[in-house]
């Protein structure tokens, strides 16, 4: 005696059972109407597209639906399936286009299950992109550089903080670049977009929209700054130091006699000074820089304080305030900056006959040759050279300081020159 069982499945036309758990619809053209008709059946099932083989919708037993793509990878003897996204969040046509891309990759032998596994999600906004960039680089980026990124963004691009990262266009970059040239110097505007470009490149945004600046030749021509103090101006600084002793002249003369950068002197603490030398922390080129405190340099540094104390006691803000007041007092014909003192240092060494390579060592520029790198790596040799250069420069400054009559011509100190002395009575 045989029994015949009739099985019927309600509300799912053209359904056949593939295993004990999953049901599969016969292929049909997936449309918006298909999406609207999806509902829970108590079993997991699949809706496969008739027009694009390999594209479909997986529906859970509770009715949660997501797009998928499935295919056989060349070289793999099995069918693989990759989820594309929820039907509630991903538009149908976008999902279909994504499926086409993956199917093409699979035909080329790429395992689509891992195609995007290494990619990090792009930050939603420019502000978030900047924050994640600086956070990721916090152990390798100097605090001053981090601050610079934040300042340039806040000063010029703060209204773009909530701009979706993907909406930043070349046209927006070009327009903002030209607008900022009316407010800031060309060098500062270049820095703004150099920092922005670095953030975009960090997140792998390609092509980088900031490239429009060079592509269209938008950069304003930059005039290299050549300002260095004249002998007469150096004489005035020395006279102010000797006569009125304003604290700021100590650090200004230290800049002129060592060629160090602003931050390198500002950040000097007494812990950095021992054995007659000053060790520069975090120089710009990341190469060790130790300078001998030759002659008057030790006097300019002053009496030793606690290890954690700054040698000159200034912060960036307090130095700016003191320097501005000093400039108002001396009233030089042309404006001058702290960095001009570094340029004054190199100009005077050139006047004294030192070579470009030797001046580069004194300025701690990156070595451009194997010989230069080898020489700079020998601390004893470098210290000897710097000591000689500093001594010669201080002798030249004594000529500037005590010669009150013949300072209009830039020239080395005459060999027979001696400071004027009052005759004995």
Q: For the chain, give the longest Cα–Cα distance.
A: 149
> What pLDDT was estimated at residue 229?
95
> What pLDDT was estimated at residue 5?
38
> What pLDDT was estimated at residue 284?
81
The answer to whether the pTM exceeds 0.75 is: no
> What pLDDT was estimated at residue 372?
54
Show the domains of the chain with their CATH numbers.
Answer: 15-114 (3.30.160.390), 126-215 (1.10.150.130), 231-402 (1.10.443.10)
> What pLDDT was estimated at residue 391?
95
- Tokens 């619809």 sit on residue: 25
pLDDT one digit per residue (tens) for the chain, 425 residues: 444 434 333 333 333 333 434 556 678 899 999 998 998 888 899 999 999 999 999 999 888 999 999 998 766 677 888 899 889 888 999 999 999 998 988 887 787 777 554 556 789 899 999 999 999 999 888 888 999 999 999 999 999 999 999 899 999 999 999 999 999 999 999 999 999 999 999 998 989 999 999 999 999 887 778 899 999 999 999 999 999 999 999 999 999 999 999 999 999 999 999 999 999 988 887 788 999 999 999 999 999 999 999 999 999 999 999 999 999 999 999 999 999 999 999 999 999 999 999 999 999 987 655 445 545 545 678 999 999 999 999 999 999 998 765 677 777 877 776 765 555 65
> What pLDDT was estimated at residue 413?
78
């Amino acid at each position: 005696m045989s029994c015949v069982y009739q099985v019927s499945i309600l509300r799912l036309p053209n359904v056949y059972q593939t295993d004990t758990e999953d049901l599969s619809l016969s292929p049909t053209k997936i449309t918006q109407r298909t999406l609207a008709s999806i509902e829970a059946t108590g079993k997991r099932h699949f809706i496969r597209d008739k027009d694009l083989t390999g594209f479909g919708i997986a529906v859970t037993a509770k009715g949660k639906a997501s797009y998928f793509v499935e295919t056989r990878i060349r070289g793999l003897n099995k069918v693989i399936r990759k989820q594309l996204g929820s039907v509630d969040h991903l538009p149908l046509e976008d999902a279909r286009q994504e499926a086409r891309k993956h199917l093409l990759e699979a035909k080329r032998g790429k395992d689509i299950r891992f195609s995007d596994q290494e990619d990090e999600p792009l930050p939603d906004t420019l502000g978030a992109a900047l924050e994640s960039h600086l956070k990721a680089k916090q152990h390798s980026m100097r605090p001053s550089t981090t601050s610079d990124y934040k300042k340039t963004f806040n000063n010029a691009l703060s209204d773009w903080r909530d701009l979706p990262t993907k909406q930043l266009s070349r046209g927006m970059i070009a327009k903002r670049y030209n607008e900022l040239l009316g407010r800031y110097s060309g060098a500062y505007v270049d820095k703004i977009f150099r920092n922005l470009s670095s953030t975009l490149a960090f997140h792998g945004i390609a092509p980088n929209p900031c490239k429009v600046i060079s592509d269209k030749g938008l950069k304003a021509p930059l005039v290299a700054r050549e300002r260095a103090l004249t002998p007469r101006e150096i004489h005035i600084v020395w006279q102010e130091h000797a006569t009125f002793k304003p604290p700021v002249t100590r650090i200004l003369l230290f800049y002129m006699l060592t060629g160090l950068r602003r931050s390198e002197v500002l950040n000097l603490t007494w812990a950095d000074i021992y054995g007659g030398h000053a060790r520069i922390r975090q120089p710009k080129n990341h190469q060790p820089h130790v300078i001998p405190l030759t002659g008057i340099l030790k006097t300019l540094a002053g009496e030793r304080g606690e290890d954690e104390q700054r040698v000159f006691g200034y912060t960036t803000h307090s130095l700016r305030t003191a320097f501005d007041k000093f400039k108002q007092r001396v009233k030089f014909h042309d404006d001058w900056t702290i960095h001009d003192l570094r340029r004054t240092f190199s100009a005077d060494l050139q006047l004294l006959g030192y070579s470009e390579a030797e001046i580069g060592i004194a300025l701690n520029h990156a070595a451009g040759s194997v010989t230069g790198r080898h020489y700079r790596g020998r601390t004893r040799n470098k210290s000897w050279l710097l000591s000689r250069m500093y001594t010669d420069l201080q002798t030249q400054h004594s000529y500037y300081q005590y010669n009150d009559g013949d300072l209009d011509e830039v020239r080395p100190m005459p060999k027979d020159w001696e400071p004027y002395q009052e005759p004995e009575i």
